[in-house]
Amino acid sequence: MKKILIAITLILMSFSSLHAMNMGMQKHALKHANPMPNLMRIAIKNADILGIDAKQMTALRAWSDTNKPKMMKMVKKVMHEEAMLLENALTTDNDPVKEAEVMLETRKKIIEMKANCLANLKTILTKEQYQNVVNIYRSVR
């Protein structure tokens, strides 16, 4: 009975480790596919410190709720395209530069979306709040 309990415990621990590793990989993937700062997340998580009011928070969440799924879809696309590029480089004679065009175009769209996000953030927050978001970002980076 002890052996069964130990085995079950080990299996459950391995699943929780895999989940934690997957979450870490998602953060790494986002940073890898997107060199732009994620100031929206900083603003939302630090709303109390920044003095963000309810109207501002509604606007921040609206932008985030609309655009975050699109961003994550593009990040996954970049990661998929990179994996395909690697595999094709090892198994085919296809032109890797031509194959990389889809991935590079998606990266460009990610950067454009992040630039739009920063511009939107500047319209929602006061100059002081925005500067404080940048300061928080730099301090935790």
pTM of the predicted model, to two decimals? 0.72
Whether 29 has a pLDDT exceeding 90, the answer reads: no
| Dihedral sign for Cα atoms in the order 23, 28, 29, 34 | positive
Q: What is the pLDDT of residues 31-50, one digit of tens each?
A: 566 778 999 999 999 999 99
Q: Rounded CA gap, 41 and 54, in Å?
A: 16
Among residues 103, 20, 119, the alpha carbon closest in space to that of 67 is found at 119
pLDDT band at 16 (very low <50, low <70, confident <90, very high): low
**Contact present, 60 and 76 (Cβ < 8 Å):** no
Question: Which residues neighbour 140 within 8 Å (Cβ) at sequence distance 6 or greater?
Answer: 42
